[in-house]
Structure 1
């Protein structure tokens, strides 16, 4: 009789525990699964604008600049102000051409923004990769060596072709969570980008 009571008690307990779990219950998504959904959504964000500040250290030299960056369907414009930018420069480009407008109005063209900045300002800035990194995505044209995610599926650390990217803070913008503090390291240069505002490009 005692064994029968114990058996029925166990069955009742199992039924009770099962009843406490909603029928729609599913295990929480893994960071990798959340990242897959997030990356697909971020890839649709092709029109945006940011304002903030950047600090670049290259060898024994260092520069600071205000930055205003807008992106519209593959075309971009970056305004840099401050000592690093020698009074202010504008970098505009698309898939065909990139134009650097100096503070005095002189215009210089090239096929890549990196070449223009390095040859005419002496600064190594990975603009092409930053167009993806700033949204919290790996650079599409570089192999991903290492990628670390937080529990929400957001990139916290990324390594691509000797570039190390740390995203230390995210902020909400419309239906997205986007980077607000990015540290980037390379064997011969480091860059800090603090984003103050996210907005829609006009």
Structure 2
């Protein structure tokens, strides 16, 4: 009887431990990066002067829509994003800025500026776009300064980034540039009931004048 009472705290501890939920990895994926990940991610970080074209699709509870990415020019931290869409009369919309500043030009020529890029885009278009993170995610990198988790597929390519409540799925990679690693060609970003999908048709490298 004495031994039984001595064992009770141990039984309780074991029971408590078994209630901890460990999120299983998706089938066929690992969180162990491949041997070339450090070198590959460094190459992608240095690839910070580029231009891409493609298509953007957004689905959220309030509304959904698509837009052409006529061009997204990135020069270090400075971006210039030109979109065109008939959705909600957006027409040709231009976003220029840096991680802490944005200038938004609407089809009628009205210009708005803000120190909160995501809030301004949502107020003007109704779309919730994680702009500060997309600059990194679109290259296949986690945004700096925040916790993240990386998952890799059986082909040793990055398959998923989980960061800031978003899950970024890399649906397709493509060798756009011979001197660089494969770059994302199709990305799906999910958060709660929001979905942002990017399909990139072309990547170009720009000269770095730094």
Q: Same fold (TM over 0.5)?
A: yes
Equivalent residue number for residue 153 of structure 2: 150
Equivalent residue number for residue 104 of structure 2: 100
1:86: how far off? 1.1
Does the alignment pair 1:119 with 2:123? yes
RMSD value over aligned CA atoms?
1.8
Structure 1 Cα separation of the partners of residues 100 and 166 of structure 2: 25
1:200: how far off? 2.2
SS in 2 for 1:33: coil
Pick one of 174, 185, 195 that aligns with 2:190. 185
SS in 2 for 1:183: strand
Consecutive unaligned residues in structure 1, runs of 5 or more:
1-29
1:82: how far off? 1.0
Equivalent residue number for residue 174 of structure 2: 171
SS in 2 for 1:36: helix
SS in 2 for 1:176: coil
Does the alignment pair 1:69 with 2:72? yes
CA contact (8 A) 1:31 1:150 kept: no
Does the alignment pair 1:195 with 2:186? no
Which structure has the larger Rg?
1
1:108: how far off? 0.2
CA contact (8 A) 1:90 1:102 kept: yes
1:91: how far off? 0.2
Pick one of 49, 55, 58 that aligns with 1:56. 58
1:152: how far off? 5.5
1:142: how far off? 2.6
Equivalent residue number for residue 36 of structure 2: 34
